[in-house]
Structure 1
Amino acid sequence: MRSLPPVGIVIIGRNEGERLVRCLASAGGAHAIVYVDSGSTDGSVAAAREAGAEVVELDVSVPFTAARARNAGLARLLEIAPDARFVQMVDGDCELARDWIGVGSAALEDDGTLAAVFGRRRERHPDASLYNAMCDEEWDVPVGPVRACGGDALFRIAALQEAGGYDPTLIAGEEPDLCWRMGARGWAIRRLPAEMTLHDAAMTRFSQAHRRSKRAGHAFAELVWRHGSVADPSWRRAVKSTLLWGIGLPGIAVAGALGAFAWLPALILPIGVAGLFGVQWLRIASAKRRAGFGARYAQGAAGVLLATKISQAAGLLRFHLNRLRGRRGGLIEYKASG
C-alpha cells in the first residue's frame, strides 16, 4: 500500500456538540490534529482535548471569522508538525470519509500544480428537510478542474502560504477569495471522484435558509467589491442576479403598488413582476427535473431559491452599508448549537 505523506488536520468549530465529537473521531490517525475553537460554551474544548487534539482557543476580544480560525489552526499545526506538507481543512460539523486523506494526498503528490483537492461532501440527513436536500445538491459539483473549493478541502501547505493564507477580515466567502489568489499564482484546484465528508447542516426552518443566503449575498458583494474588474465571473453573475431578483424587480412592484407611476394602474407592475417570478420559478424547476430530481423537490427548491434572493439582497446591502460607515459586520450564523 502507498504510504501517506505527513498530513495535518485543522478542525474549526463553535458549539458543534456531538457533531464535533464525530468529526474528531473521523480524524483519528492523522499526522497531527488541531482544533480551533471560536468561543464555544458547550464543552467543545474539553471534548477536543479528550480526543487528543491540539486545541487553540481564539481570543474572544477579536471578532471571530472562519478564516481567522483556519489561519490560527495552520500556524499551530506547523509549530507541532513542521514536516507537514498537506493540511485538511474541515468544519466541526463534518465527518471525514475513511479513505479520503489517502485519496486526496495521492492526488496532490501526483500533480505538483494542484493547490487543493476536494471530494464529495454529502449532507447527513438530506431527507430531514428541503433545505438539507438543497445543501446536498449544492455540494455535488462536477468532477475535474474548478475555480474554488468550500470549507472542506485538502491543501498543499506551500500553496496556502504562497497565497498569504485566508483573509481573516472576511466574515464569509473566504474560500473563493483564497482560491482566486492561489489561481492568480498559477495553482490549480480539482474536485476528485471520491467521498470526502458527511456534513450536518441541521437546517429545518426557512429562517435558517434566510440567514445562510444573507451570508452568501454578503460574501459575493464583498468579493466583487474587493477584486473589481478581475473578480471571478461567477461572483459578478451572482451579484447581478441578486440586484435583479432581490432588489430591482421587487422594488418596481412596490413602487407600482404605491402609485409611483401615475400613468399606470396601480396593480399592473406588481402583477407583471409576479408573472416574471412565476416564469423564473418554472425555468428553475424544469431545469432541476431535467437534472433528474423529483417534481416535489424541484418545485420546492425553485421556490426557496427565488424567495432567498431577498435574503441575498439583505446581505449585499448589509455589506455596502457597513462599508460606507467604515465598519465591519459580524458573523451571520444559521445553525443552532449541536
Structure 2
Amino acid sequence: MTQSIISAVVIGRNEGQRLVNCLASMQGEASRLVYVDSGSTDGSVDAAREAGAQVVLLDTSEPFSAARARNAGFAALTTDLPPPDYVQFVDGDCTLEPGWLTHAARALDATPDIGIITGWRAEIDPHASIYNEMCDYEWHRPVGDIDACGGDMMVRRDLFARLGGFNPKVIASEDEEFCVRVRDAGFRVNRLPLPMTHHDAAMHSFAQWWQRAVRSGHGFAQVGDLHPGHFIKERRRVWLFGAVLPFLGIVGAVLSWPLFLAVLAIYALSYGRTVKGLHDVGLPLATAMRHSVLLFLSKFPNLIGAMRYHKRKRRGWDMEIIEYK
C-alpha cells in the first residue's frame, strides 16, 4: 500500500521560539512545511526559512485572519506533484505530539467518510495563570464523532479544495464554520483519543482574557449568522445573561425590588449549576468556583463581540481580527 503524503500549514505572527519549536516538531513526518506569516516583526520569517519551511507572506493591504492565512498556505501546496493526500493545519504557538501526523493519516486512510481528524490539545504551562488553566480545561473534549473542532486539524486535501477552504471573512471560529460545511457535505469530523498539540496560550492578564472572550462572542454571532443551526445555545446564553437579565435588573432596581431580586436569584442559580457541573467532571471545588466566575463574566465581553459583528455587518465594514496577545 502506498504511504499517504502529509503536508503541513503553520500560521503565525511574532511567535518567535514557539514557531521554531512548532516547525521542529513536524520534521520527519510532514513531507513539506508551509509557514504563513501575518506581518511578523520579530524574525519569525527568517527562522521559518532556516527551519526549511516555505514562507508565504500575507498581503498587508487586506485584513489579516486565520482563515485567510490557512487558505494561503494551502494554495502554496497546490503546486506539489504529487499533491499531498492530507494537510495538517496548526497554529504557530503549538507543537505537535511525536507520531501524531502518522496516527491521524492512518485513521483517514482507514475511514473514507471522515473528512477531518483532530486530537487533544493541552497547555504547555496550565498553572501559569487561571486563564491558561481555563484554556487547558477547554481543550479536553470528548472523543469520537464531534460537531466541530479547533484549527489544529488534519483535512483531506481534495475535500478542502472542493469546499473552498476556510471562509476568509470569518475572523473567529472559522474552524467551526468549516467543520459545519464538512458535515453538510456528508463527511464526519472525528477526534482521536490521542494527544495532538501542546499550546502556549501565554495569557497572563484579565485584559487578554477579556479580548479573547470578545473574539469568541464575535465568532458565535458571525458563524451563527452563516449557519443558524450552530452556536444556538451559546448565542442564547450571551443575550440572556449579557443583555436581557442586566436590563431587567436595572428596571427592577428602579421600579420593582422583587424583579431585581429575581434576577439576582437567576444569576446565583446559574453560577451554582456551573460550579456543580465543573466539579462533577473532575475539577476541584475551588478551581470550579474560580472558573465559574470567569464563565459568568464572559457573557459580557461575548455580548460586546456579538454586537461588534452586527455593527460591522450592518455598516459593511471589514471583519478585522480581534487579537488578545
The 3-state SS of whatever aligns with 1:16 is coil
Which of structure 1's runs of 4+ aligned residues deviate more than 6 A? none
RMSD of the alignment, in Å? Answer: 1.4
Please, which runs of 5 or more residues in structure 1 have no aligned partner?
none
Spell out the pairing of 1:1-150 with structure 2 (5 A cutoff). Answer: 4-29=3-28, 30-80=30-80, 82-150=82-150
Spell out the pairing of 1:119-198 with structure 2 (5 A cutoff). Answer: 119-198=119-198
Within 2, Cα distance between the matches of 1:296 and 1:80? 52
Q: Is contact 1:117-1:189 (8 Å) kept?
A: yes
Q: Is contact 1:159-1:187 (8 Å) kept?
A: no
Within 2, Cα distance between the matches of 1:132 and 1:81? 41
Determine if the alignment matches structure 1 residue 304 to structure 2 residue 321.
no
Q: How far off is 1:256 after superposition?
A: 3.2
Q: How far off is 1:227 after superposition?
A: 2.3
Q: How far off is 1:195 after superposition?
A: 1.1
Spell out the pairing of 1:236-251 with structure 2 (5 A cutoff). Answer: 236-251=232-247
Structure 1 109/283 Cα, relative in aligned 2: closer, same or farther at 3 Å? Answer: same
Count of equivalent residues: 324
Q: Is contact 2:217-2:306 (8 Å) kept?
A: yes
Q: Is contact 2:170-2:319 (8 Å) kept?
A: no
**Percent identity of equivalent pairs:** 42
Q: How far off is 1:128 after superposition?
A: 1.1
Letter in 1 for 2:5: P
Structure 1 170/6 Cα, relative in aligned 2: closer, same or farther at 3 Å? Answer: same
Within 2, Cα distance between the matches of 1:35 and 1:75? 12
1:283-327: per-residue Cα shift (whole Å, max 9, x none)?
111111111111121000000000011010000111111111121
Within 1, Cα distance between the matches of 2:285 and 2:2? 47
2:225 is aligned to 225
Within 2, Cα distance between the matches of 1:141 and 1:189? 13
Normalised to the residue count of structure 2, the TM-score between the two structures is 0.96
Normalised to the residue count of structure 1, the TM-score between the two structures is 0.93
Q: Is contact 1:32-1:81 (8 Å) kept?
A: no
Which of 273, 277, 296 aligns to 2:263? It is 273
Letter in 2 for 1:111: T
> Which segment drifts farther, 77-86 or 210-219?
77-86
Q: How far off is 1:215 after superposition?
A: 0.8
Determine if the alignment matches structure 1 residue 287 to structure 2 residue 304.
no
Which of 314, 319, 330 aligns to 2:304? It is 314
Within 2, Cα distance between the matches of 1:15 and 1:272? 48
The 3-state SS of whatever aligns with 1:334 is coil
Q: Is contact 1:4-1:105 (8 Å) kept?
A: no
Q: Is contact 2:170-2:223 (8 Å) kept?
A: no
Structure 1 58/208 Cα, relative in aligned 2: closer, same or farther at 3 Å? Answer: same
Q: Is contact 2:222-2:309 (8 Å) kept?
A: yes
Within 2, Cα distance between the matches of 1:60 and 1:69? 12
Within 2, Cα distance between the matches of 1:124 and 1:151? 17
1:184-220: per-residue Cα shift (whole Å, max 9, x none)?
1101110001110000001111211111111111111
Structure 1 81/286 Cα, relative in aligned 2: closer, same or farther at 3 Å? Answer: farther
Q: How far off is 1:3 after superposition?
A: 7.5
Within 2, Cα distance between the matches of 1:279 and 1:324? 36
Please, which runs of 5 or more residues in structure 2 have no aligned partner?
none
Q: Is contact 1:36-1:73 (8 Å) kept?
A: yes
The 3-state SS of whatever aligns with 1:120 is strand
The 3-state SS of whatever aligns with 2:78 is helix
Within 1, Cα distance between the matches of 2:324 and 2:205? 10
Within 2, Cα distance between the matches of 1:246 and 1:110? 45
Within 2, Cα distance between the matches of 1:206 and 1:325? 30
1:94-134: per-residue Cα shift (whole Å, max 9, x none)?
00000100100000000011111011101111111111111
Q: How far off is 1:161 after superposition?
A: 1.4
